[in-house]
Amino acid sequence: MIKKIAGSQRAYALTLMAAVFVLMGLLGSCGGGQDKGQNNGQNDGQEQRSSGGQTESTTTIRQYIGITKLDNDSLIEATVKAGSIPDSIVLQLDHDFQRANLVIQNVQDVDSLMATLHASGSQRNLRFNQIVLPDGTMDGPFGHELHYRTGQNGTYTLRIGKDNMADGTVKGPAVIYIHLR
């Protein structure tokens, strides 16, 4: 009985924390209504279109984050450098077939990488599918949280997408929190 009560309190606390993180992410993505003299990159984008190939990409730079949509919007790639990871990374998934890669560059002398994924809304189906290590090896699948020991220096890629063993939609906002230790 005590375990059941403790479990429900933990679930309540996790739900409350998720709501706070989503709210913080939304406020952070809106700039919090404050202009600190920084260019938040609302229109710092570069558009790249390839005339001969199938790949089209649009790149938008938002305060240390490069976001690129590839292959007719099926893949969103967000790139961030390890030394300038923002408090939260907000991605908008517009289609049920979309996937997202979060590329963390220049990871040096770090013991672990922790990531949390919050996908607000009802019936959302989104998780960390894989982590790609600097040497090209992969591990996964994971869930909404990831705690991974980093034994290598270099670029880590977190692949985010649908869990094919579950129902639900991918569409909607996704807030990702990254912490390196």
* Residue 17 included in any domain: no
Enclosing domain of residue 105: 44-180
CB 150 within 8 A of CB 113: yes
pLDDT digit string, tens, across residues 28-51: 444 443 333 333 333 344 444 344
**Token digits of residue 23:** 């709210």
* Residue 66 included in any domain: yes
Q: CA of 71: how far to CAs of 50, 77, 85, 90, in Å?
A: 11, 11, 26, 20
pTM of the full structure: 0.66
* pLDDT score at 53: 44
* Residue 71 included in any domain: yes
The enclosing domain of 114 has a CATH number of 2.60.120.380
Indicate if the pLDDT at residue 141 is higher than 80.
yes
* Residue 132 included in any domain: yes
SS (H, E, C) 132-163: ECCCCCEECCCCCEEEEECCCCEEEEEEEECC
Q: How far apart are CA 159 and CA 119, in angstroms?
A: 15
* Residue 124 included in any domain: yes
pLDDT digit string, tens, across residues 156-166: 999 999 999 99
* Residue 170 included in any domain: yes
Number of domains in the chain: 1
* Residue 166 included in any domain: yes
* Residue 56 included in any domain: yes
What is the identity of the amino acid at 141? Answer: P
Most confident residue range from 23-32, 65-74, 130-139, 162-171 = 130-139
Q: How far apart are CA 40 and CA 166, in angstroms?
A: 37
